[in-house]
Amino acid sequence: MTTPVDMLPLADLDRVELSIGGMTCAACAGRVERALGKLDGVTASVNFATERAVVTGLAPEQADQAVAAVKKAGYEASVRVDGDDEWSRRAAVDRVTSLRRRLLVSAILTVPLMDITLVLALVPGLRFPGWELLCVLLSLPVVTWAAWPFHRATARNLRHGSVTMDTLVSLGILASFGWAVATILMGEGGSSYWIGYGQTPAGASAIYLDVAAGMTTFQLAGRYFESRSRRKAGDVLDALAALAPDRARVVRDGVEVVVPSGQVRVGELVVVRAGETIPVDGQVVEGRAFVDTSTVTGEPVPRETTVGDLAVTGTTSADGRLVLRAVAVGAHTQLAQMTAIAERAQASKARVEALVDRIVRVFVPVVIALAIAVGVAWLWAGAQPAHAIGVGISVLIIACPCALGLATPTALMVGIGRGAQLGILIKGQSALEASGRIDTVVLDKTGTLTLSTLVIEQLTLAPGADRVRVLQWAAAVEQGSEHPVAAAIARYAAASVADLPTVTDFRTIPGRGAAGVIDGREVVVASVPHAIDERMPLPADVRDAVDDAAASGRSSVVLATDGVVEAVFTVADEVRPSAKAAVSQLQRMGLSTVLLTGDTAAAARRVADELGISEVRAEVMPADKAGVIAALQADGHRVAMVGDGINDAAALGTADLGMAVVSGTDIALKSADIILVRDDLRVIADAIALSRRTLRTIRGNLVWAFGYNVAAIPLAAAGLLNPLISAAAMSLSSVLVVWNSLRLRSAKARR
């Protein structure tokens, strides 16, 4: 079944998403956020790294008001539709192309300019008439056209009464160029700034144009590589969205026709040939194939898929032809929901990021005031004007908090995107923050540690009973029942017998079993309490098997013919193959594990002993599971709850970190912070490890960014940093932060 449109969190009635263009730093994001916040009843969150704004309190039909507010603030905006962000992608490509073009021109002109100014400053005999004018002509395109993005952003923000990091860069470039031209016109020499501070040799002089051009080149290089890296970070999630094929082969009027995937309707038959990617979520009605799900769930081994199994969009049939009946298409497919959830998580802001935004908002004007104060102080102390201005420019440039603004959002973007590729959907930054604190993992048993299907572990026959006849009659009666135990008996019998006798007068025994007449004899397949109530004596062998099953937490179902018990089936829920390895990995990570179930204490202890879990909370009703979580929290534990997301919603919501193991296609409504899509319980440890690694990356980025500014500003103010070195260091700092975040792409699934 598909999930109704009005139940999917893909188009909230009071929520609008915008793609934002023209932002160059975290301060720009803050300005857009404040502009949107001025709309009545509206709150907004703007993410600089993803270039998106989430606007709440505004109906979709009022989105033009938000777009107008952004444009009035001096930026571009477009309403974003889930799964379609072509406007934003095109803007990102245009920005990178423009920066690359300006960087190349700037570098081509700056290198000879630096060579000329260095050589002619140190060797006056090589100077020729008009050499200063030549240097001015070489630098003019650099400080105007190449540096135009900085100047344009500065002018735009000044018109709106604000300053950003671009203001610092633009002022530094213009101050350097202006001072150089002034010294040429006044005929005054100054200090050489090729390498460090210090006077040129006797008889030599220098102009300041190399600083203006070099600063522009370094800033453009940093901005270019930063933009490319941010685009790569976004590509992690774009790759997931691109998995859905554009075309589908549909059976219509008995003929296979190829149509756009968006035109496939629920219930239609879709044909997938060997090597093709599955375009819809569908149930297999014909064929058998090994399906490669690694692109969606991170599972490396193809899964055998046959009639009755579910296949999802974006996976690939490796070796066979499948015919699917579409159960979810378009925005309702598992892939589309995964992408939407991950995109929304990327657009969210961590609490520390909001703090950084506030710091940046105040930091830029403080830096401008500090640069002016430092320059004046050096002049007051008797320094040459060129040196004093150079120190002020160094402070202006080195203090740019670009790295600070990128530290958190880039790591969030890459970490969440990589998680989606591994079958781990992190719904927001709160999951990352919680993962770093948890010390206890509570694991639901049924449907999480065990499979939802029951299995027959043992068949015990009474003396004289025929095994083949018992299996035939049990399967014949149970084939008319839909109970999970009936399905388990039917599967068990199918491995040994084929032909089943005809059953007449079939009837169910509510809560107990089923009965029917075979060859004129009354055959009952029912629970032990029913046999006792009907005064059906249990032979000794059967009684021993029932007692053993009860002691080990298993259930028993007897088969009786004309009131005589002939056999007992021992029934158990099957532990997932990956459960033991998953528990072991969690324990190696230093986490305590607790098994939580509504099943009997004996059944819970059996599973716990098999998996190596020491603490068990059994016979807990679904409504009481949240209370168990709360009690653990009251004892000082930070708790992660892992459940199947259906009966465990309250417990998942109560836990510090809720993790839902999901099967099927309906993943959008689970009450969890992290959704685990991969059908391998080792994904639990993967999710916690990835969350912790992302959190460590954010902290490392912030430590570097804060430490860089704290250490660099005093050095620049003391006159120990050349403006060129300051420009290079500031650009490199931003690139390093983005590169450190991109390392999260190497996260791999545990085996």
Active-site residues, by number, are 444
CA 493 to chain centre: 45
In angstroms, the CA 536 to CA 558 distance is 10
Shortest CA distance to 213 belongs to which of 117, 95, 96, 124?
117
In angstroms, the CA 660 to CA 640 distance is 11
DSSP result, 540-585: HHHHHHHHHHHHTT-EEEEEEETTEEEEEEEEEEEEPTTHHHHHHH
Strand order across the beta sheet in which 316-317 lies = 303-305, 289-292, 316-317
Q: Are 660 and 640 in contact (CB under 8 A)?
A: no
DSSP result, 309-357: -EE-TT-EESS--EEEEEEE-GGGSHHHHHHHHHHHHHHS--HHHHHHH
89: how many CB neighbours lie within 10 A of its CB?
Answer: 15
Strand order across the beta sheet in which 674-676 lies = 424-426, 674-676, 657-661, 639-643, 440-444, 592-596, 615-617
Q: Which residue has the tokens 């009946």?
A: 325
In angstroms, the CA 52 to CA 351 distance is 17
Strands (E), 121-266: 247-252, 255-260
Long-range CB contacts for residues 370-379, cutoff 8 Å, separation at least 24: 370/395, 370/399, 370/713, 370/717, 371/395, 371/396, 371/399, 374/716, 374/717, 378/719
Q: Are 434 and 657 in contact (CB under 8 A)?
A: yes
For the record, the structure tokens of 642 come out as 């892992």
Q: Are 186 and 198 in contact (CB under 8 A)?
A: no
Strand partners, 260: 247
CA dihedral 670, 675, 679, 684 (to 10 degrees): -130
The sign one gets for the Cα dihedral 81, 67, 167, 353 is: negative
Opening angle at CA 515, ends 514 and 520, nearest 5? 165
Q: Are 396 and 724 in contact (CB under 8 A)?
A: no
> Which residue type does 698 have?
I
Residue 96 buriedness (CB in 10 A; 0-12 / 13-18 / 19+): middle
11: how many CB neighbours lie within 10 A of its CB?
Answer: 15
Long-range CB contacts for residues 383-386, cutoff 8 Å, separation at least 24: 383/719, 384/190, 384/191, 385/179, 385/190, 386/179, 386/183, 386/190, 386/191, 386/208
Shortest CA distance to 240 belongs to which of 338, 330, 126, 154?
338
In angstroms, the CA 375 to CA 373 distance is 6
For the chain, the residue count is: 751
Phi then psi for 284, rounded to 5 degrees? -70, 125
In angstroms, the CA 743 to CA 741 distance is 5
In angstroms, the CA 733 to CA 710 distance is 13
Strand partners, 565: 560
For the record, the structure tokens of 46 come out as 């703007």
Distance in angstroms between the alpha carbons of the first and the last residue of the chain: 33
